[in-house]
């Protein structure tokens, strides 16, 4: 299991590009030999994975793919990951699937619909800039960003035991770690990448369990009392069905719960599973903050059970100037390196107070008292206390 994901690479330390069958023949017997020997190794490692973990990789299982390696390796350009369209011949629309490719009784999920939505991973958007030899996170800030199917899935190793099997993890010294957790996959491109988009932040830093607050993805949260939490979500795991650790997938994925799992695409901005309005001057509604209300009870937030001025800010009532404002104006979605309660003021709307401060100060743990130094909607908080 340990060496399995990289076995093919051992065999081909020099750049080795697989070509369609005919091209391989033209390149002479040495190339053909390499293909045959790699097949042998792959078969051996496949059976090794099978022996150790008990789960056979889906794509190497002839009970699922009767044509074996040829299902993918005929008419296939490997210089760029094979091209994501090839995957759709089995994971695309049912009526466009090639017959005989998959055993008739096997149902594969259609991922194509999600990739056609407005907010998606750019799998079919760009030129094929994936290279089978790349190591992520990217260290060159000028390399264009990309994401194709094989960046997130290794077709030779995906199995029921570890869907991330075979995806090369972060480099540690001379080794590439093995990915077992979803967030490790995401950090390959949304963590320490030198080519992060300007407005994007390092998610590894945001979710660090050393932060004063964070949504509990890498580990349980620090808070003992998050009053608004809906069951089965809990601050700490007590009973078996309590959930105290969540996944990126709980917030990022398809808007359609019948669709394939995975952050492929969604009709909601941010590839979110539900709508989340992040602007200012908005009416409050269950739809505007639907994502948060999946886990935080709307009536608790609007009933001011924690922050006594939640309702006033969110709904914009009591002559609050300029309508309500989003949770996003005060809260980070992921984590805060500075404050508790995920407090992070949105600089698009929140400016400094008359004394030049933009700051949240807590007054006593779990006391529901604090003060804010800032200016918003023209109102100077210098400070305002609760
Ligand atoms: C489900 C489709 C699929 C099946 C089935 C499949 N492969 Fe692959 N294979 C790929 C893709 C896609 C790549 C390119 C991966 C990349 O660029 O990261 C690849 C790459 C390779 C490479 C080049 C490796 C490298 O590091 O560049 C070899 C060798 C290979 N496959 C052999 C095989 C053999 C042998 C089998 C049958 C036991 C097989 N494959 C079955 C999709 C498949
Ligand atoms: C020849 C048909 C075929 C091709 C081509 C193919 N797959 Fe698959 N794939 C299958 C089958 C069959 C399964 C097992 C049934 C299932 O769970 O969907 C599967 C399973 C998967 C799974 C795991 C699904 C799960 O339930 O956890 C992923 C992920 C996946 N394939 C990705 C890919 C990617 C990426 C490519 C392109 C490199 C690809 N597949 C190409 C047939 C194919
Ligand atoms: C191989 C690289 C790669 C991996 C791995 C990856 N992403 Fe992405 N992701 C991208 C690229 C490229 C974009 C397009 C925007 C950009 O450049 O950041 C993107 C966009 C997104 C967006 C939308 C950003 C926006 O501006 O609205 C979200 C959300 C996202 N990814 C979440 C995830 C999650 C969750 C995971 C792990 C399950 C993940 N990504 C894994 C490359 C990747
Ligand atoms: C509790 C819900 C939640 C969880 C869990 C979550 N996100 Fe997000 N994420 C959001 C929301 C809401 C937005 C849109 C608003 C924003 O940008 O903060 C977002 C935006 C993003 C973006 C686009 C903005 C940017 O900075 O590039 C990326 C990328 C992203 N998330 C990646 C991840 C990754 C990776 C994980 C897991 C390690 C994750 N998210 C877990 C709610 C969540
Ligand atoms: C940015 C990373 C990323 C990209 C790009 C990506 N996937 Fe996925 N995919 C995931 C994750 C994460 C999952 C969920 C794995 C799990 O079950 O935890 C997933 C799940 C799947 C599944 C299983 C769905 C289910 O309901 O069980 C299939 C099939 C699949 N992907 C195919 C593809 C194909 C085909 C492509 C390219 C067209 C692709 N993926 C591109 C990250 C990605
Ligand atoms: C004007 C700023 C502001 C806005 C807007 C805001 N919050 Fe808060 N929120 C706070 C402050 C301040 C606290 C910390 C209160 C304390 O414990 O001292 C807090 C605490 C919380 C908590 C932790 C305690 C609990 O109730 O479980 C949650 C969850 C929360 N907010 C969710 C939301 C959601 C969801 C929205 C949008 C619908 C929102 N907040 C809008 C300022 C805001
Ligand atoms: C999938 C469930 C889920 C979703 C969706 C979700 N949260 Fe949370 N949230 C949690 C859990 C679980 C905790 C408890 C963490 C802990 O124990 O510290 C939490 C804690 C919080 C806290 C308190 C953190 C602290 O350390 O005090 C705030 C504030 C918060 N969430 C705001 C939001 C906002 C705003 C949204 C919408 C963008 C949102 N949450 C969406 C599950 C979720």
Local structure of 139: helix, strand or coil: coil
Nearest CA to 45 out of 90, 94, 10, 88 is that of 10
Most confident of 82-86, 260-264, 322-326, 365-369: 260-264
Shortest-distance Cα residue to atom 22 of ligand 2: 158
**Cα–Cα distance between 381 and 349 in angstroms, integer?**
14
Q: Residue 260 has what DSSP assignment?
A: P
Inside any domain, residue 199:
no
Other beta carbons within 10 angstroms of residue 225's beta carbon come to 10
Q: Locate tokens 């949504």: which residue?
A: 215
Element (H, E) at 379: strand 379-385
Q: How confident is the model over 219-240, as pLDDT tens digits?
A: 999 888 899 999 999 999 999 9
263 in contact with ligand 3, CB cutoff 6 A: yes
Query: For residue 86, what pLDDT is reported?
Result: 86
Q: Which residue lies with its CA nearest to atom 39 of ligand 2? A: 87
Whether pLDDT at 128 is above 80: no
Ligand index nearest the alpha carbon of residue 85: 5
Q: CA 110 → CA 6, 62, 90, distances in Å?
A: 29, 21, 8
Give the chain's domain count. Answer: 1
Residue 130 CB–ligand 5 contact under 6 Å: no
- Mean pLDDT across the chain, nearest whole number? 84
186 CB within 6 A, ligand 3: yes
What confidence tier does 146 reach under pLDDT thresholds 50, 70, 90?
very high
In a domain, 159, yes or no: yes
- Mutate-to-test residue for ligand 5 from 82, 89, 145, 153, highest number of ligand atoms within 8 A of CB: 153
Is residue 384 one of the residues assigned to a domain?
A: no
Atom of ligand 6 nearest to the CA of 376: 1
Residue 161 scores a pLDDT above 70: yes
Kindly state the tokens that stand for 236.
């700490």
Of the two residues 314 and 24, the one the predictor is more confident about is 314
Instruction: Answer positive or negative: Cα dihedral of 111, 112, 113, 118.
Output: positive
At 203, is the secondary structure helix, strand, or coil? helix
Mutate to test the pocket of ligand 7, among 206, 291, 296 (most ligand atoms within 8 A of CB): 296
**pLDDT for 166-198, tens place per residue?**
898 877 777 778 899 999 999 999 999 999 999
Confidence of residue 74 (pLDDT cuts 50, 70, 90): confident
Q: Is the omega angle on the peptide bond into residue 318 within 30 degrees of 0, that is, cis? A: no
Residue 158, pLDDT score = 92
Q: What is the mean pLDDT of residues 332-344?
A: 97
Among 287, 318, 289, CA closest to 301: 289
Q: Measuring CA to CA, which residue among 2, 5, 1, 3 is closest to residue 156? A: 5
- In-domain check, residue 61: yes
In the predicted model, what is the mean pLDDT of residues 42-69?
71
Per-residue pLDDT at 257 exceeds 90: yes
Nearest Cα residue to atom 19 of ligand 3: 121
Render 346-360 in DSSP notation, one character per residue: -TTT-B--TTS--EE
Q: Which has the closest alpha carbon to 278: 206, 347, 336, 191? A: 347
From 287, 296, 310, 379, the mutation candidate for ligand 6 (largest count of ligand atoms within 8 A of CB) is: 310
pLDDT given for residue 321 in this prediction: 67
Which protein residues touch ligand 1 with a CB less than 6 Å away? 8-9, 16, 18, 38-39, 42-43, 59-60, 65, 68-69, 71-73, 78, 81-82, 132, 150, 155-156
Determine which helix (DSSP H) or strand (DSSP E) holds 275, and give its type and residue range.
none
pLDDT band at residue 318 using 50, 70 and 90 as cut-offs: low
Q: What is the reported pLDDT for 50?
A: 42
Q: Is the pLDDT of residue 284 over 60?
A: yes
Considering the domain boundaries, does residue 243 fall inside one? Answer: no
Q: What is the mean pLDDT of residues 64-71?
A: 89
The answer on pLDDT for 340 being more than 50 is yes
Specify the pLDDT at position 6: 35
Closest atom, ligand 5, to C-alpha of 148: 5
**pLDDT reading at 304 higher than 90:** yes
Report the sign of the C-alpha dihedral through residues 228, 229, 234, 235, in that order. Answer: negative
3-state secondary structure of 214: strand
Ligand at minimal distance from the CA of 269 is 3
Question: Could you tell me if the CB of 150 is within 6 A of ligand 4?
Answer: no
Whether residue 9 is contained in a domain is answered as yes
Percent of all residues in the chain with a pLDDT value above 90, rounded to a whole number: 62
- 205 C-alpha vs ligand 6 centroid, how far in Å? 22
Q: Which of 165, 159, 93, 80 is nearest to 123 (CA)?
A: 80
For residue range 76-92, list pLDDT tens digits in order. Answer: 555 555 678 889 989 99
pLDDT at 130: 87
pLDDT confidence tier of residue 36, bands split at 50, 70 and 90: low
Contact assessment for residue 242 and residue 234, using Cβ atoms and an 8 Å cutoff: yes
Output the pLDDT for position 352.
97
Is position 144 within any domain?
yes
| Residue at 132 is within a domain | yes
Confidence at residue 125, expressed as pLDDT on a 0 to 100 scale: 86
Q: 123: domain range?
A: 4-194
- Ligand 7, closest atom to CA 294? 5
Lowest-pLDDT range of 87-101, 252-266, 340-354, 360-374: 87-101
Question: Is the pLDDT reported for residue 302 higher than 80?
Answer: yes
Cβ of residue 342 lying under 6 Å from some atom of ligand 7:
yes
Q: Are 221 and 211 in contact (CB under 8 A)?
A: no
Q: Which of 248, 326, 348 to mutate to test the pocket of ligand 4 (most atoms within 8 A of CB)?
A: 248
Q: Show the CA angle centred on residue 33, arms to residues 167 and 11, nearest 5°.
A: 35
Is the overall model pTM greater than 0.95, yes or no? no
Q: Looking at ligand 2, which atom is closest to the CA of residue 64? A: 12
Query: Is pLDDT of 17 > 80?
Result: no
């Amino acid at each position: 299991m340990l060496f399995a994901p990289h076995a093919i690479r051992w065999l081909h330390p020099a750049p080795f590009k697989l070509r369609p069958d005919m091209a391989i023949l033209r390149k002479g017997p040495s190339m053909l030999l390499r293909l045959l020997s790699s097949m042998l190794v792959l078969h051996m490692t496949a059976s090794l994975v099978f022996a150790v973990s008990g789960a056979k990789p889906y794509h190497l299982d002839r009970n699922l793919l009767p044509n074996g390696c040829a299902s993918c390796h005929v008419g296939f350009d490997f210089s760029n990951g094979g091209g994501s369209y090839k995957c759709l011949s089995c994971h695309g629309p049912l009526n466009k699937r090639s017959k005989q490719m998959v055993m008739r009784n096997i149902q594969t999920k259609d991922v194509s619909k999600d990739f056609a939505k407005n907010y998606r991973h750019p799998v079919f958007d760009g030129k094929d800039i994936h290279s089978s030899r790349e190591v992520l996170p990217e260290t060159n800030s000028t390399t264009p960003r990309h994401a194709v199917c094989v960046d997130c899935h290794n077709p030779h190793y995906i199995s029921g035991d570890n869907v991330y099997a075979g995806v090369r993890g972060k480099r540690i010294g001379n080794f590439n770690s093995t990915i077992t957790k979803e967030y490790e996959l995401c950090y390959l491109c949304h963590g320490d990448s030198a080519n992060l988009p300007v407005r994007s932040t390092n998610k590894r830093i945001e979710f660090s369990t050393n932060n004063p607050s964070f949504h509990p993805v890498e580990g349980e949260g620090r808070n003992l009392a998050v009053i608004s939490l809906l069951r089965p979500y809990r601050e700490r795991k007590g009973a078996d069905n309590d959930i105290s650790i969540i996944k990126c997938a709980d917030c990022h994925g398809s808007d359609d719960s019948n669709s394939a799992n995975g952050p492929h695409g969604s009709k909601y901005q941010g590839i979110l599973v539900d709508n989340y309005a992040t602007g200012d001057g908005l009416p409050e509604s269950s739809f505007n903050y639907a994502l948060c209300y999946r886990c935080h009870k709307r009536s608790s937030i609007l009933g001011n059970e924690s922050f006594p001025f939640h309702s006033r800010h969110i709904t914009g009532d009591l002559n609050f100037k300029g309508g309500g404002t989003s949770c996003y104006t005060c809260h980070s979605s992921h984590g805060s390196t500075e404050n508790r309660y995920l407090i992070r003021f949105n600089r698009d709307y929140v400016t400094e107070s008359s004394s030049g401060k933009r700051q949240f100060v807590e007054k006593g743990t779990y006391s529901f008292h604090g003060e804010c130094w800032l200016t918003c909607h023209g109102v100077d908080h210098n400070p305002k206390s609760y």
